[in-house]
Every structure is written in structure tokens, then in C-alpha cells.
Structure 1
Amino acid sequence: MTQTTERQSGGLYVQTAERQQLAFPLKHTTVQAKIAGNLARVEVTQSFENPFTTTLEAVYIFPLPDEAAVDDMLIRIGDRTIQGSIKKRQEAQQIYEQAKRQGRTAGLLEQERDNIFTQSLANIKPGEQINVVICYTESLKFTGATAPESLGGSYEFAFPMVVGPRYVPGNLIEENAIGSGSAAAPMMLNQDTDLVPDASRLNAPILPPGTRSGHDISVTVEINAGVAIQEIHSPSHQIQIIPQGAIAQIKLAGGDTIPNKDLILRYQVSGAETQTTVLTEAGDRGGHFAVYLIPAIQYRLDQMVPKDVVFLIDTSGSQAGAPLAQCQELMRRFIQGLNPDDTFSIIDFSDTTQQLSPVPLPNTPQNQQQAIRYVNRLTAGGGTEMLRGIRAVLNFPVTDPGRLRSIVLLTDGYIGNENQILAEVQRHLQPSTRLYSFGAGSSVNRFLLNRVAEIGRGISRVIRHDEPTDQVTEQFFRQINNPVLTNIQLQWEGAGSEPIFYPSAPPDLFAEQPLVLFGRKEDKHSGKLHISGIAAGGKRYQQTFQLEFAEAGNPAIAQLWGRARIKNLMNQMLSGDTKAGVEAVTDTALAYQLLSQYTAFVAVSDEVRVDATEASVSVQVPVEMPEGVSYEGVFGNVAYSVPDPVTQIPIGEVSLSVRAYNRMRRQMLASDISSEEFDVTLISPSMAGSVADADFSLAPPAMSPPAMPSPKLADDEEFDLGVASQKSFGSISEPLQIVQATGLDANGIALLTQHLQSIQLSPGFSGDIVFEFQISKGRVRQIVLNESVSSLKEQTVIEAVRRSLQTWRPSQELTATVHLTLRVQS
């Protein structure tokens, strides 16, 4: 007898003597954090229990901080500990699958995004509890002083507890929705697309309103700041503060333990000691150091450069309710806080984009009133087509080149195509433009918000949907009006090799914003680090640090340097993986024992613990909807349970939200249902020129079906209903030829050639593109560009080919590593 595994997505039932009841394998999460100075060491313990009578595999999608250096994982079964080890991701997956087949208990920890992780735990015996322990180090965020005259500053410790639902644009690769359609786990339409090929690994099943899984969380934080702590508070949770001499211990209050929102813990320290911190470490990998510099530079509040501010606000369905209301309040305060000589405009986006005006408006009382009326009328609905909004704001007209343009993005960041957004900003943001990001909500996508502001040379800030906005607004204007240190240069004085710094090109600093710098000196020779820049008013600023690499230093500094290097390398691959980049990230992650997108932790028991021939069940752990996020805003006007969205669409008039319609349309494209089976018409738009809140009606087929809806409703910017948009590519016959395809037989090459001929490329490009990728289970995976041997460098062509490769469906039986050389002659 062979093993059979029933794959479920949470919401399984256990039959008791009285009735069926829901059973959930994740019982409890314990978080223990110790903060020393600027660093936090955090241990997260996830407790899984098998409530079934068969062997269980539990799969849990969960968040961690996007800057966390995850460097350890282990499994505890009773009094036994199974230590995890870091491996290349594909190797770790193979070890895990083999152990699962053998009946060994195994754990696999993978990173999907900088802030999204997957924990898989195989072969849990019936009735057994297993604990998974994950450890990471993090550098705390300095949030600035509460007022310009303050001597001290505030630090923030944030621990995310739930992954918010990610909107997935693009053309479907295959049907692989992970939701079961049960009442406890409504269907998540997070299918893999050519833009987000790992979408099915980003969203856990979300429990409908009124349903609880029983999973709770406890958090203990110990703070040893090194200086006096003046105030500790949390805008997100009820907390208990227990003073213990120089250390403060903080715990969650007993009634606030549901893991459906980020824990935000802020504490203020006093004294000038907060201005500068230097930490060093020496080991086998060289000498490492961290510098936290908060320049004590005076600035005048009336020294303000005229700005042109363009606000970009997310009005998609996930913003419905409190998050949008908070964004509207922030917008009103931002508009009223602009300087008299500033100009401004507003762009909002969901499925489409709209704008207050076609050009920047002078900051007059009349224009302010017009803008506030526009903000007050905003409503939430539809999908998060953020790329359209980003392109609109990056291309917004400039009428006065002498003004410093500032883009202010307000969003929860609930998207799966983060890299596409970041790449667009990286490629097209003008040197004189800065981008600031604000996340409003309980569990926003901090990875996107932090990274887009970093690439945009601005600052990011997260504010809860129920948090007062006055202090946030005041601090934002202090910072945006006062860049206090620009043109920052780093110079090393001393013997031996030059240190490697991250960030390699330090950004401009704003009021109360620190410079956080990580460095590595391979030979560990001491020396001096000179940091210089141009302060407000044109004055030259310089500070010098004497660095000695002591063997007794803080080992966490090395991990944070490794994490900073990985982030720097990943920023160079926002448009897609490259062979050199993947190898560099992998080598760094293995050398520093760090989790990354190309490495994973795996732990396997020595003994066989279950009968591998018996049936087992695999459960994906469902999670809570983030606090304050509207279930209907995310899922549309559909019922909580939809068993089969493709085969059970009723033939008759059905009202769907735009977001639900777009999801259904993608399923139609991936299925055998033709678009000609439906007469799709737009009804009852809520406002002229907007489809964000409109409903769609599915009617019985007409004699002559009209055209499908406007391309504005397409799921991505380039393709509508699977057909290349003529605005992007011209029509060229057979623009691609396969020169070499090791790993494929003649039939496979013929099928791939036929598939690639559907790509329409703009004329004028020629050369070779070389890709490496894996084929398994009927899918193309891990597409990596070998840029060193590719002669064609045009990014739009490479992206078009990469997306086409993502949608190719090879044989289910084929498992191979393919080296593909394509010749482009357009």
C-alpha cells in the first residue's frame, strides 16, 4: 500500500461523540524578545498539535519583520531537540520530502518574501504536540524625538502577527487555489500568475467573520536600553510593564492575545547618548561593525524649500472601512499642513487610477477645499493594481522644475508583486524626486513600505487605523521640510583592506533620522571611519569613529551585516533573478547561516516515527483577517463559501464586485469556459468615470456577444485577457528561435518553441538571452537569467520572455534542469 496524502487548507473537522467540531493544528505562539541598546534578539516558538487520528503535516504561512536576520530553527518533541541546518532551498526541500516519505518527523522553514515565511512540519503523530523554535536578530527602528527640542529619542519594536491578504495581478499559470471552500476556510483565489508565480505561497486561508481558530499568542519583551527609559507605550495592544531595576519587562495583557495585528512597542530614552552608537565584532569571517549616527544638527523651521507634493492613495477593497478613513484623515492633515509656496495634487488607485487635477495646483484656500472634498468622496473597492498608480505618479507633469517633488504613498501594501513596483520606482524615479510611504492599518506590508521609501530616498511610517494622526503629521512635516545632511561620504583611514559598507551609497538624512551603517573588514585591522556631508545651510559636517575589532564583541553584528548584504543584492534583482545575483545571495546566506529566498532551514529526526505506508493528512493553517480589514472589501459580494468558482457559476444574473469579477474572469481564462458564454455588462457605476465601486452582471449568452470590458479592468498593465497590448509590443512573426535547450528532448523543444512564438516583441532588438530554470510537476520554476553570457540586455524583452516561460505547461512527468539559449531577431 502506498501513502495517500489528503491536502486540505484548514478548517478540518474532528468527529466527537456529540458532533463534528473544527480542529486546528496551530495552538499557540510564544514570543520572547530581549533588547539591548539598538538590537533585539527574538525567539519565536510555534506549538503544533495533531487533533486527528491520522498522521498530520501542518503548513503555516506567517510574518516576521522584513529586516530580521533569521539564523536558527529547531524542533522540540517532548524533551528531545532536533537542530535545523541551513541548506540551499532546493536541497532543503528534497531533504524534507524524503524524510516525509520515510516517516521521519521533519520541519522546513522557507522565506517567500522578506516578511513572509512558510513553516512546514511533517509526520506529527496523532495527539502529539511539537514545538518549532525560530530565532532572529533585528536592528530597531529609531522613530525620532517627539518634539524638535527633545534631547532623547524613541525606538520602536514591531512584531507582525498575521499576513494580510495579498492581491495578485497577472495571467493565470494554472488553477491551484488553496482554499477548500469550507465555512471555516473560504476559498482564497490566490492562484499563481506570470507576474506572481509564487502567489499560492503568499496567502493562508482566512477565517470568515465570527470564526476563531483558537490560536493565541503571548509576548514578553525585556528592554535594557543602556540609558534611562522615560516612557513605554503600545498603540496596538494592552500591555503590562514590570520594572526590574535597569531592565523593563513588558507582556501582553491577558485579554489581548489574538494574533490579528502587529505588536507595536515604542519607548523613549533620554540623554545625548542616543546620538551615536558604535558596535563591533571579530570572528572567523572578519571584523564587523555597526554605526548608528543621529547628527545633532540644528535647523531652522522657517528654512523650507518650496515643494511639489503628489499624494498617491490606495482605494482598493482591502482599504475599506477604518484603513481608508485613517488615510483620508492623514490626507486632510497633510493638505492643511503644506507650506504657502507649495503645490500639490492627488491620485487614487484601485482597478483604475483617478486624479484631482491634470497638473499640480497652487496651495490656495480654494484648492485646499477642493482637495478635501475630493478626499472625502473617496470610497474603497476593487483590486490593488498598484503599478498603474505608481506609473501615473511617476509620470505626473512637472510644471516648475525648481521645486523639490515629493511623492507620498498611502497604502496597506497588500499585493504580491512587490518587486515589480520596486523595480518601476528604481528605474523611473527622477534624481530630484523623493518618495515617502505611509501604511495605515493593523498589519500592513512593511516590506513594501520600507523598501519603496528606501529606493525612493524618502522615509516610511506605519500608523494604525485607530491611532491619532496629529503627531505623525507634525513629525512628517518636520522631516520632509528639513533634509539636514546630504552628499554623505564614507572614508576609511587605516592599514589593510577597505571595509565593505551597506548601504554602499548612504541616503540623505532628514531631521531626527539616523544613519544606520553596517561594515565588514576582512583583515580585522583597526582604523578610523570618517563620515562627512553637507549640513543645512551649506555647512560641512564631519564625524570620526575609531573602530577596534574586539573578539568579545556582539556576534549579532555579523549577522546584521550579512542581512544587509543580502538586501543590497536582492535590490539589484528587482526585475528578475540573475545567475550572479542568486549565487552571491546564496553564498552569503550559507556563510552567515541566514534564511533567504534561496536558502532554507531543515530539521529531520534520526528515527522513523510513523508508518509511511499509512494515509496522512496535510493541513494549511488558517489565519485571522487582520484587525480593521473588511472581509467583504477583500472578497467582494460573494458568499463566504464557494466550492467551485469555475464549474458552479450560475447561468443567470449574478452581481459581483469588480475584484470578484476580475478573479472569476482569470479563472475563465485558465479553464475551458469561453468568454463567449457570457454577456458581461457594466451596470450602476457609482460615479462618472470610475469603475472602482461598480458591479458587473453575468447574463445568459447573447446572440452576438459584445466585447469584453475595457482594458482598464485587466489584471496587469501589459496584458488584457491573455492578449498582448498593442501599446507595448508590435507584431513580429517568429521573433524568437531556440538555439540550445539542454534538459529538453526534441518534443519538448518543439512545444516550447510553439509556446514562445506567441510573444509579440517591439522591433529593433537582436541578440541572445540565456535562462536557467527547473521543471517539475508541470511547471516552470526558478527562472534565472545568465546575464554574463546574454548579449541582449533590453529589460522589456527579457521580462516578456520570462513571463511567457512562467506560463508554459510542460509534461507533468518531466523533471529537469533546463539551460535555454534564445536568439531574438526582431
Structure 2
Amino acid sequence: MASGHSHRPAGGQAWLGLITAIAVFGASLFFWSEAHADAAPAESQLTSAEFAQAGMVRLSEINEGALLLKTVDGGLYVPAPLVATDIRLDIAGPIVRAIITQRFENPSDAWVEATYVFPMPADSGVDRLRMQIGDRFIEGEIHEREQARQIYEAARANGQRASLVEQERPNMFTTSVANIGPGDTIIVQIEYQDVARLNDGTFELRVPLAITPRYIPQPEGFVFAADGGEDLAALADAMRITPPLMHPSAEPGAYLRLPVSIRADLQPGFALGQVASQYHATLVDRSQPGHAIISLADGPIPANRDFVLTWRPADETAPSAALFTEAVDGQTYLLAQILPPATLGADTPRRPRETIFVIDNSGSMAGASMRQAREALVAALSRLEPGDRFNLIRFDNTMERVFPAAVDATPANIARARRFASRLEAEGGTVMLPALRAALVDNTPQDTARVRQVVFLTDGAIGNEAELFTAIDQGLGRSRLFPVGIGAAPNTYFMSRAARLGRGTFTHIGDVNEVAGAMDALFTALERPVMTDLDALFPAGALSEIWPAPLPDLYYGEPVLLTARLAGPDGVMRLEGALAGSTWQQDIALAEARPARGVATLWARNRIRALEEMRFQGATPTAIDASVLETALDFHLVTRLTSLVAVDATPARPVGDQLVQRDVPLMVPHGWDFEAVMDDRIGPVQHAGLDPSMLSRLRPGQAPDAVPLDADGVPLPATATPRELLMGLGGLMMLIALVWLITNRERRLW
């Protein structure tokens, strides 16, 4: 009996071993079939001719590192175009001239049209395009957007090399390059004008390198019409602002695929103090007095977070005024940046306030952004004082208030809000509109004792900005809106325009270490009196146009920034405003202005921005479009109505060779949770950049994946497996299990 019992476990283990071996063998067959699918196209979905024309590849055909996009045809991939970016910045005072050189390489054996969506400063003026082919440079021309598109498409169809730069949003542009030959390279150069931001004595220049992936909520009343119309136009726009994303597995070596190099030549016009880059290691060469050359310390960087450069004067006494002029076609253009004295209003008693905190806990905030937002919210709650009132609203694709309406800032209520904030997790879509409207609802509009402020913490990862701007304009009332941009690459177009329409100011938090300082600076500004009724007075007959108009309210530490077109550069400009019940004035002689290039472009860009914002104030779209178009064509600027196009006169693609369309996949911004973002992006717009006839072959609702990396960080094919080893291992395990089973049976019989 004892002997019989001792043999039963051994027999059970043998059967278990046999079952395990069969499972391993089955798994190896499955992996072999998957690998076999990689080795040949699905004949039912794609013919060999279509396969060749589409420029697809099998994993077995890849002999070097490549970024590959999956298709639904088993085992077939499309090599993504590679883009290297070089940025050169010339900074004179606060005026910035930037040259972006994009190098498009085609790693495939097909003729390719590459489409690259890239970020730009929201208020910059893009005014030049050049395309380099060999030793030749082809200058781009400005046209109405539809006309530029037609010129480009005609050249593309004719086999000519061509490039097109279009604005999707003021901070998001698209470069399209047609007829890049197999293994060829085309260089596209884009130039823009910008101005550094002066804040509390420090100049800051932000160069966007990453794009926040946009969530596209269904617009109110959106229904697919029988003939398409505006609904299809809305979907087309959604597709253009949601390029494919690299899978994080590609990111350690992504700088090899999307490298960015940066060099800045800084001549501030005063003795330089500290020069720093907030997120990237830099080298600063100060061998020339009053001059600094800034370069990246560790070579090219990945395009996954903004480059931010700051500088201060050496003597800690920031210049109170900077004036620059440029003469163009008999007109004088003025840029003025004036910083009111920091002591203004410092002794004014703090007014009680009603503050509505809104926090974005959608999927795009997952990871570092959510931690930063929670810390920022807790820091903001700690600034509340007795006599204040507050509420807290959170949103993803749903919305929730902590209290039905604003409550007194008692210790118990603040503690409840903190507990609520500490439990927030990021998930769901970014449906911002209901939360924004709820925050702007003012239940006590007659309360003049308290200042009403809305602090909005978000990354702005939305594509329906126009709906939100309309809601701000219609519902603002006595409230003031203060967006706080969270993360490595927030949507600065939304943030800055929402702040202007909301008569507030925009704060950016790019790292968790910045939370305390940024929130302290924001609430210091909120607790100081606001300068209102700002105006700039010029000598009689001197002023032609000034933008922005009217000048916005001014918060503590912020400069007055204006551009004007003048009939002449003589006389005195007077700035005045109301602050804490008194009038502030400052006189500046226009003769003190220094000549500088690019001032006219900045004036034109400010004029266009102000015109665009008039649509939320009742101006007719037709009148706005006419003025925007006229200004853009006069000043050679890319806008939503104009584009730059460059065409090589000589056809390059042989007749009969098909052109394949490819999107360049972008990196996920630093600190983002890829899976959380992709769970919530709109499905129909996640495509791999194929021509429309091929879009149906892509996996619906999924972003194209990049393949993993080898040990050196080079992207390599991912789905091939060691099938021979797996099958051999499975067979060996089956043999061992059978021997074990037979041996144990013999023992039991004996």
C-alpha cells in the first residue's frame, strides 16, 4: 500500500510533464505561424504588385535599423521617413530669428511623399521656406492655402520634388515633401520670427520640440451629413493634427531617428548674468563681451520635450524698457517691452477671492503630469485664507465637483479638497468643455468684495480649441482665467489664447521640481492688484496701428508688450494704466529705440492674432478672413489661410513609378504614459501615413507601433521569433515526459 501510494505522484508528474510539453509545442507552432506570416504577404489582402507599389517590406528584408509601421497585412510593414532637425537661434535683445533645417531621408526602395507634423511657438511668424536639392536652393513662395496646395499637388503628380508648409494650429505646422527618391535626402529650411518673454526680470525663450497628442471630442451637434460637408472637414482636420506616435520601446534610440541639434547666438544688449537651460545640458561660450554662444552639451537630443533658455542681466537690475524699430516700405514698426516697477501695489491689502480650481485627470495626464498637477493643486489650496471661497472640479470624459457650489475656505473644507486631490488618477478622454463652463458659472455676480479667479491645470491636449475659446468669451463675466500648463510639451496655443480671452495669465510647469516656485509666483501675482485700462499714447499723427488692441490687463512681474506701426519714429510714447486706485505713467523717447530686423513681422503676426480673436467678440468671419489674408500675403506669413510652397522645375520620379505617402511618427512627450494616452485617442485618425486607398489596411483604433531596439538602441524588427529553437525545445520536452511516463509505469508493474 505504501509502495503503491509512493508511485502515484510520480505518474501524475509524468502526465503533467506531457501536457506541458504539448502546450510548449503548440505555442511553438503558433509562434512559427506568426513568423511565417511575417515572411510572406497575405495574398487575399495584397497582391505582389500592390505590395511593391506601396513600398512595404517584410522583416526578413530589413538589413539595418529602421522605424517600421505595422499594417493589417500579416508580416508587412512600411519604413517611416527619417527626419533630422537642426535649429539655429539668433537673439538680439528680446527679438529671436530662428532657422529650422529639416533633413528628410527615405530609407525605403519606393518613391515617397513624407508628411511631418511639428511644433512651433504659438505667436511666432513663419515667413520663409527654402528647399535644398544637392547644391541648389529653391525659394518658397507665399500663396493662399488652397492655391499653394494645388501647386504642390500638381508638382507631386508630375514627379517634381516639392515642399509645402501649412499651419494646422498657430503652434502646429505640417511640412509635406513630395518625390523623395529611394535612399535620397531632401533638405527643407524654415525660418520664423519670435520674441523672448520677459517675466519678473528674467528673459525666457521656449523652442517647442514635442507635440501634445490631441484628444478630439465629438463636437456638439456633430452628425455625419449625407454629402459630408463640414463634418468631413472636421474629421480631416482631426486627422491632420493627430500624427502617429512612436511606441516607447523605440524611444531610447529615437534620437537616431529624430535627432535635434540646437545652437543659439545671444546678444542681449546688456551685461549678461546667469544663462541657463531648464531641461537640457548646455555649454555656454562667453569669450566675447556681451555675447554668448549656447550649444547642447551632449550632442543631439530627442524631440520629446521643449527646449527652454533663460537669461538675466549681470547687475540684477533688469532693464525697465526695451524699444526696437524697423523701417519697411516707408513705414516704421515699433516693438516695445516695458516692465513696470516691482514695488507698484506691493503694499496694497490683499482682497478676498473666490477661486475655482479645475484639474485635468484625463489619460493624457498619466505619469509625471498627474503628479505635477496634484502637487500644484495642493500648493494652491494651501494659499487660501479665511474670507476666501473656493471649489474644486476634476474632469476626464466625465466631470465631478467636490462641492455643489463654492464654499468657505475653512480647514475642514480644504482638508476635504486635499483628500479628493490625493486620490485622483489619470484615465479617460479629455472632454474639457463641460468643466470649463461649470467653472465659469458665477452664482454671486453681485459680490464685488471678492475677486473671482479660475485656475485651470491641464496639458491642453485637445483639438477643439475654437469651442473652448467661444465658451470663454460667452461665459467669462467677472471671472478671470489662469491656465497652468502641465508637462513637457503643453498646448501653448490653447493656454496663451485662453489666458488672453480670460483676461488672466499663463503659467507653465514642465517638471515636478518647478511646482512650488511656479505656483508661488502665480499666487503672488494673483494676490497683487492688477493694472487695468492700459493705454499707449503717441504724438499726434504718429500712430497708425497698435496691436494688441486694447492692451491686456497686467499682472505682477509681467511686462507691457506691444507692437505699433508709426508714421514716424520721433516724439515721446506715454504708457499709462490704473493700479490700486491710482494712475501709473511712464514716458519713453522713441528716439531711444534701437534698429532691429524682424519687428515688422512681429507686428504683422500680432495683428493676425488679434484679428483671429475678434471672431469670439462678434466680428464676421468674412471680414476677419479678408484682413488676415491681406496681412499674411503682404508680410509673407504662413497662417490658416496661407501656405509656403517650393517646387523644383525638373521632374525626378520616373513615369510609371508610384508615389507612396508616409507620415513621420512623433515621440511621446517626456513623462507621458503611452498606454494611457493611446487608450483615449480618437480611433479613426490613427493611421500610418499611407495613401487613402491603403488606410483601411491599418489596424483600426491603434497607433502604428515602432519596433523594439537592440542593445545599441537601433530599432530592429520585432515579431520574428527563434521558432527552430522553440520547436526543438518542445519536442525534447515531449520526449523526456514520455520516457518519464514509461519508466514510472514499469516501476509500478515491478
Common topology (TM > 0.5)? yes
Letter in 1 for 2:195: S
Q: Distance in 1 between matches of 2:641 and 2:65?
A: 45
Classify the secondary structure of the residue corresponding to 2:217: coil
Give per-residue Cα distances to partners, 1:536-589, cap 9 Å, x unaligned.
3x2221112232599x93231100000000001111235998221111101100
Describe the shift of the 1:441–1:482 C-alpha distance in structure 2 as closer, same or farther (beyond 3 A): same
Q: Which residue of 1 aligns with 2:608?
A: 566
Q: Distance in 2 between matches of 1:72 and 1:473?
A: 38
Q: Which residue of 1 aligns with 2:188?
A: 132
Q: Is the 8 A contact 2:53 2:110 kept in 1?
A: no
Q: Which residue of 2 aligns with 1:202?
A: 241
Q: Which residue of 1 aligns with 2:327?
A: 282
Q: Which residue of 1 aligns with 2:133?
A: 77
Q: Which residue of 1 aligns with 2:34?
A: none
Question: How far did 1:5 drift?
Answer: 12
Q: Is the 8 A contact 1:8 1:619 kept in 2?
A: no
Give per-residue Cα distances to partners, 1:222-276, cap 9 Å, x unaligned.
2111112221222221222222322122222326611111111222224545211
Q: Which residue of 2 aligns with 1:160?
A: 208
Instruction: Kindly indicate whether residue 463 of structure 2 is the aligned counterpart of residue 419 of structure 1.
Output: no
Q: Which residue of 1 aligns with 2:32?
A: none
Letter in 1 for 2:100: V
Instruction: Kindly indicate whether residue 287 of structure 2 is the aligned counterpart of residue 248 of structure 1.
Output: no
Q: Which residue of 2 aligns with 1:762?
A: none
Instruction: Kindly indicate whether residue 546 of structure 2 is the aligned counterpart of residue 501 of structure 1.
Output: yes
Q: Is the 8 A contact 2:357 2:392 kept in 1?
A: yes
Instruction: Kindly indicate whether residue 572 of structure 2 is the aligned counterpart of residue 528 of structure 1.
Output: yes
Give per-residue Cα distances to partners, 1:438-494, cap 9 Å, x unaligned.
011011101101110111111101111433322112211211111352221222223
Correspondence list, 1:179-190, <5 A: none
What's the TM-score once normalised by structure 2's chain length?
Answer: 0.78
- Return the match for 1:556 from 587, 595, 598: 598
Instruction: Kindly indicate whether residue 381 of structure 2 is the aligned counterpart of residue 341 of structure 1.
Output: no
Letter in 1 for 2:213: P
Question: How far did 1:645 drift?
Answer: 12
Give per-residue Cα distances to partners, 1:372-422, cap 9 Å, x unaligned.
111111111111111111111111533844211000010000100011101
Correspondence list, 1:453-492, <5 A: 453-492=499-538
Instruction: Kindly indicate whether residue 95 of structure 2 is the aligned counterpart of residue 51 of structure 1.
Output: no
Classify the secondary structure of the residue corresponding to 1:337: coil
Correspondence list, 1:92-131, <5 A: 92-131=148-187
RMSD: 3.2
Q: Which residue of 1 aligns with 2:3?
A: none
Q: Distance in 2 between matches of 1:581 and 1:76?
A: 35
Describe the shift of the 1:9–1:506 C-alpha distance in structure 2 as closer, same or farther (beyond 3 A): farther
Q: Distance in 1 between matches of 2:242 and 2:55?
A: 11
Describe the shift of the 1:390–1:590 C-alpha distance in structure 2 as closer, same or farther (beyond 3 A): same
Q: Which residue of 1 aligns with 2:439?
A: 393
Classify the secondary structure of the residue corresponding to 1:92: helix
Classify the secondary structure of the residue corresponding to 2:504: coil
Instruction: Kindly indicate whether residue 475 of structure 2 is the aligned counterpart of residue 428 of structure 1.
Output: yes
Q: Is the 8 A contact 1:169 1:193 kept in 2?
A: no
Correspondence list, 1:223-622, <5 A: 223-245=266-288, 246-254=290-298, 257-269=301-313, 270-284=315-329, 286-298=331-343, 299-300=345-346, 303-398=349-444, 400-430=447-477, 432-494=478-540, 496=541, 498-521=543-566, 523-524=567-568, 526-536=570-580, 538-548=581-591, 553-574=595-616, 578-622=621-665
Q: Distance in 1 between matches of 2:619 and 2:123?
A: 21
Question: How far did 1:369 drift?
Answer: 1.0
Q: Distance in 2 between matches of 1:102 and 1:339?
A: 69
Q: Is the 8 A contact 2:348 2:528 kept in 1?
A: no
Q: Which residue of 2 aligns with 1:218?
A: 261
Correspondence list, 1:688-727, <5 A: none
Q: Distance in 2 between matches of 1:292 and 1:154?
A: 13
Correspondence list, 1:671-690, <5 A: none
Unaligned runs of 5+ in 2: 1-48, 69-78, 689-693, 704-750
Mark the structure with the bigger radius of gyration.
Answer: 2
Describe the shift of the 1:202–1:582 C-alpha distance in structure 2 as closer, same or farther (beyond 3 A): same
Q: Is the 8 A contact 1:41 1:137 kept in 2?
A: yes
Correspondence list, 1:772-791, <5 A: none
Q: Distance in 2 between matches of 1:423 and 1:512?
A: 28
Q: Is the 8 A contact 2:339 2:557 kept in 1?
A: yes
Letter in 2 for 1:362: D
Unaligned runs of 5+ in 1: 145-152, 176-190, 651-659, 664-826
Q: Distance in 1 between matches of 2:206 and 2:51?
A: 38
Q: Distance in 1 between matches of 2:457 and 2:55?
A: 32
Q: Is the 8 A contact 1:289 1:518 kept in 2?
A: yes
Q: Distance in 1 between matches of 2:586 and 2:641?
A: 38
Question: How far did 1:9 drift?
Answer: 12
Q: Distance in 2 between matches of 1:273 and 1:608?
A: 56
Describe the shift of the 1:335–1:121 C-alpha distance in structure 2 as closer, same or farther (beyond 3 A): same
What's the TM-score once normalised by structure 1's chain length?
Answer: 0.71
Describe the shift of the 1:632–1:285 C-alpha distance in structure 2 as closer, same or farther (beyond 3 A): farther
Describe the shift of the 1:302–1:569 C-alpha distance in structure 2 as closer, same or farther (beyond 3 A): closer
Correspondence list, 1:759-774, <5 A: none
Classify the secondary structure of the residue corresponding to 1:218: strand
Classify the secondary structure of the residue corresponding to 2:538: strand
Letter in 2 for 1:413: G
- Return the match for 1:30 from 72, 76, 86: 86
Question: How far did 1:53 drift?
Answer: 2.0
Q: Is the 8 A contact 2:429 2:680 kept in 1?
A: no
Q: Distance in 2 between matches of 1:497 and 1:10?
A: 63
Q: Is the 8 A contact 1:96 1:107 kept in 2?
A: yes
Give per-residue Cα distances to partners, 1:709-767, cap 9 Å, x unaligned.
xxxxxxxxxxxxxxxxxxxxxxxxxxxxxxxxxxxxxxxxxxxxxxxxxxxxxxxxxxx
Give the aligned length.
Answer: 623
Counting helix residues as a fraction of each chain, which structure ranks higher? 2
Q: Distance in 1 between matches of 2:169 and 2:499?
A: 17
Q: Is the 8 A contact 2:284 2:294 kept in 1?
A: yes
Describe the shift of the 1:414–1:594 C-alpha distance in structure 2 as closer, same or farther (beyond 3 A): same
Describe the shift of the 1:492–1:335 C-alpha distance in structure 2 as closer, same or farther (beyond 3 A): same
Q: Is the 8 A contact 1:4 1:616 kept in 2?
A: no
Give per-residue Cα distances to partners, 1:304-354, cap 9 Å, x unaligned.
111111001111110112101101100101110123322111111111110
Letter in 2 for 1:517: L
Q: Is the 8 A contact 2:402 2:417 kept in 1?
A: yes
Question: How far did 1:38 drift?
Answer: 0.7
Describe the shift of the 1:370–1:613 C-alpha distance in structure 2 as closer, same or farther (beyond 3 A): same
Q: Is the 8 A contact 1:7 1:619 kept in 2?
A: no
Give per-residue Cα distances to partners, 1:282-320, cap 9 Å, x unaligned.
121611101111111523356211111100111111011
Q: Is the 8 A contact 1:143 1:155 kept in 2?
A: yes
- Return the match for 2:674 from 595, 617, 631: 631
